[in-house]
């Protein structure tokens, strides 16, 4: 007698795809039944080199056979090399790295460090933020998952999200007045603060929040607000870091350097690897004050070796430039779809991290949760895995993040399936 594949699984949010996945290669997934799916989400927005990249496979096979895991107080050459290379890829003074496993863990370490170094405890983050499901990371997450779990860490304050498609503060032409919104946001924060503002943590592009790209200049102005209050700026580049936006790091566009940078998903290209990176001065103060972040897999050699291979491929194949040119193709294709379908209200993003927002009425920008779900299902039937943020009011927003190794033909194929799915669902 057959049983449901989910019978013994705890459901952890969202819904499960209808098929079991048997294998993955490059930009495609293959189901147990033999169907091929084009993966437009890079797995969990992570597999920037595609699935089963031969050099990553070779690294895993070699490393797991020689040195896979160590006591947390022991170091290995892959860890030493990766921390050095990350520092070399970043502007000064970011030159100290802690290697961990997940984005939540790297954000947890960043917040913990910021509190210890500043001697303060209040943390600011966007109203549509997502920073993870561990204690401090979840407390700084506002897009979902706050209700029903009891008190979060004390001192978490929300900053209005600068959404250019749905602006709350506007210029006379109706466009977003993000500077006035930012000023207002910090007026509210100052009014609520008990005088213990430690840090502000933000994503350069809010992914789970709806693929909301911070306006040019916003990050610089935000850093100024933090400096005025002796706060640290933590930039969470879990999804934007390492070439996805067409630059090595998304914060570089605004000419600003965060006090602490967190990386995860893209660093391991699908394997569990993350990093918290800061300056020598901040690290020294944290160490003097007894910074503690022992975890089971801190500084593990296996995934560190994979991280080095990821950097090798990104550099050799110039995947920052590839993300720029492929992003132009993707953007043009999405805008072409918007020109054919009135339900596509907005196209946004950078490089190979883009999104579209569906609206049942372009003038009123009425949300399209049900239509978004229908388009997602039809894309899947056609052979395209698309990601929709299935939260109330955001069900019609698609996150599109193909691997940086996706070919132009694969991008065009995905765009064609998305075009067909929208057309059939609104007919």
Q: What would the pLDDT profile of 306-363 be if each residue is shown by its tens digit? A: 999 999 999 999 999 999 999 999 999 999 999 999 999 999 999 999 999 999 999 9
Q: Taking the model in full, what pTM does it have?
A: 0.97
**Quick one: average pLDDT of 82-107?**
98
Quick one: which of 241, 234, 208, 209 has its CA closest to 219?
234
The residues that bridge with 40 in the sheet, in sequence order, are none
389 falls in which pLDDT band (50, 70, 90)? low
Top pLDDT among 395 and 54 is at: 54
21 falls in which pLDDT band (50, 70, 90)? very high
> What is the per-residue pLDDT for 298?
98
* 3-class SS shares of the chain: helix, strand, coil, % to 5: 40, 20, 40
Of 120, 122, 128, 239, which residue is the catalytic one? 239
394, pLDDT greater than 80? no
> What is the per-residue pLDDT for 390?
64
> What is the per-residue pLDDT for 125?
98
130 Cβ contact partners less than 8 Å away, ≥ 6 residues apart: 141, 143, 144, 203, 206, 207, 208, 209
- The position carrying tokens 């921390």 is 83
> What is the per-residue pLDDT for 276?
99
Please state, for a pLDDT cut of 90, what percent of the chain lies above it.
94
114, pLDDT greater than 60? yes
**Quick one: average pLDDT of 58-73?**
98
Q: Is 265 designated active site? A: yes
Of 128, 223, 253, 265, which residue is the catalytic one? 265
The rounded Cα 292 to chain-centroid distance in angstroms is 26
Quick one: which of 334, 394, 406 has its CA closest to 27?
406
Q: Strand order in 274-279's β-sheet?
A: 94-100, 274-279, 260-263, 232-236, 197-202, 122-126, 156-159
Q: Is 203 designated active site? A: yes
Most confidently modeled of 60-74, 142-156, 374-388? 60-74
> What is the per-residue pLDDT for 395?
73
Query: For residues 57 and 47, what is the distance between their CA atoms, to the nearest angstrom?
Result: 13
425, pLDDT greater than 90? yes
Of 130, 223, 237, 378, which residue is the catalytic one? 130
Of 108, 122, 177, 236, which residue is the catalytic one? 236
Domains in the chain with CATH codes: 21-53+318-426 (3.90.1150.10), 67-316 (3.40.640.10)
Task: Find out whether the peptide bond into 243 is cis, omega within 30 degrees of 0.
Answer: no
Mean predicted lDDT score pLDDT of the chain = 96
1, pLDDT greater than 50? no
2 falls in which pLDDT band (50, 70, 90)? low
**Quick one: average pLDDT of 98-121?**
98
């Amino acid at each position: 007698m057959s049983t449901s594949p989910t019978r013994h699984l705890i459901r952890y949010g969202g819904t499960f795809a209808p098929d079991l996945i048997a294998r993955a290669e490059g930009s495609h997934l293959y189901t147990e039944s033999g169907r091929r799916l084009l993966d437009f989400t890079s797995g969990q927005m992570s597999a920037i080199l595609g699935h089963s990249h031969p050099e990553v496979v070779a690294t895993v096979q070699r490393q797991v056979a020689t040195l896979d895991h160590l006591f947390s107080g022991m170091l290995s050459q892959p860890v030493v090399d990766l921390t050095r290379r990350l520092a070399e890829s970043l502007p000064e003074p970011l030159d100290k790295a802690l290697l961990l496993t997940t984005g939540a863990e790297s954000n947890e370490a960043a917040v913990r460090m910021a509190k210890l170094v500043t001697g303060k405890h209040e943390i600011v983050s966007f109203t549509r933020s997502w920073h993870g499901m561990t204690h401090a990371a979840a407390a700084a997450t506002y897009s979902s998952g706050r209700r029903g779990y009891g008190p979060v860490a004390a001192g978490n304050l929300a900053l209005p999200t600068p959404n250019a498609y749905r602006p709350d503060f506007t210029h006379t032409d109706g466009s977003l007045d993000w500077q006035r919104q930012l000023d207002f946001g910090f007026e509210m924060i100052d009014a609520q603060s008990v005088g213990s503002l430690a840090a502000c943590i933000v994503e350069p592009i809010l992914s789970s929040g709806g693929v909301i790209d911070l306006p040019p200049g916003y990050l610089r102005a935000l850093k100024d607000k933090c400096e005025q209050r002796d706060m640290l700026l933590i930039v969470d580049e879990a999804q934007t870091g390492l070439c996805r936006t067409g630059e090595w790091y998304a914060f570089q566009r605004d000419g600003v350097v965060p006090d602490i940078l967190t990386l995860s998903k893209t660093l391991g290209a699908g394997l569990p690897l993350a990093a918290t990176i800061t300056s020598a001065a901040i690290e020294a103060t944290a160490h003097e004050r007894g910074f503690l972040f022992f975890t089971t897999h801190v500084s593990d050699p296996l995934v560190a070796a994979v991280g080095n291979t990821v950097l090798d491929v990104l550099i050799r194949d110039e995947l920052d430039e590839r993300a720029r040119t492929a992003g132009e193709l993707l953007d043009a294709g999405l805008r072409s779809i918007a020109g054919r379908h009135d339900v596509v209200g907005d196209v946004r993003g950078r490089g190979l991290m883009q999104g579209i927002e569906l609206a049942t009425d372009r003038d009123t920008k009425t949300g399209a949760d049900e239509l978004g779900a229908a388009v997602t299902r039809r894309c899947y039937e056609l052979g395209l895995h698309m990601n929709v943020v299935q939260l109330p009011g955001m069900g019609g927003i698609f996150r599109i993040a193909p691997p940086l190794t996706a070919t132009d033909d694969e991008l065009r194929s995905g765009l064609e399936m998305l075009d067909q799915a929208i057309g059939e669902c609104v007919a």
